Amino acid sequence: MQSAKQVLSIVLVLLMSSTTMFAQQALSNWSNVENLKPGTKIVVRTKNGREFVGTKRQSTDDTLFMEARFPVQGVRTISLSKDEIQEVRKNKSTFFYPLLGLAIGIGVGVAIGSTADHPGTDDPNLGKILGGVLGGGIGLTAGEGISRRPKTKQIYVAP
């Protein structure tokens, strides 16, 4: 029984370490950058420490073309070779948190509004409607505030 536990634990450790190695190798693959759709918002950090924020235009086997904003020149298309790029990040979508906040706000607002409803009045569901609208607005605002923080996903890291 003891040897079966040891074998199982060794197998689990090997499986977990192999998935970690595969995940690290995937980030050093240039095809991750090539597979990004044109117009995707990206952040590129070069090996000399400069950082460019903009949108991807095109990429080849060894060059990335992107549209970046500069303080003096405005928006320009620049080309960066694969050898000078340290890291490429993609901006994550931020619509999830506002929608989640809206859904939670409507649910809580309807629940609270249902306690204020009076069945014998002219408008028996007015509390639920007003509670849902107010709760949805508050939830949407809260979700929007959470999603304002910049979120990026690492796409490429130079080997």
Q: Which two tokens stand for residue 1?
A: 């029984």
pLDDT in single tens digits along all 159 residues of the chain: 566 566 556 655 555 554 444 444 478 888 888 989 998 899 999 999 999 989 999 998 989 999 998 888 888 999 999 999 999 998 876 778 888 999 999 999 999 988 888 777 777 888 888 999 999 999 989 888 877 766 778 889 988
Contact by Cβ (8 Å): 99, 147: no
Alpha carbons 19 and 31: distance in angstroms, whole number? 20
**Residue extent(s) of CATH 2.30.30.100 domains in the chain:** 2-91
End-to-end CA distance of the chain: 44
* Residue 15 confidence (pLDDT): 55
What is the full DSSP assignment across 120-137?
A: TSS-TTHHHHHHHHHHHH
Alpha carbons 40 and 36: distance in angstroms, whole number? 7
| Choices 2.60.34.10, 3.30.70.100, 3.90.960.10, 2.30.30.100: CATH for 2-91 | 2.30.30.100
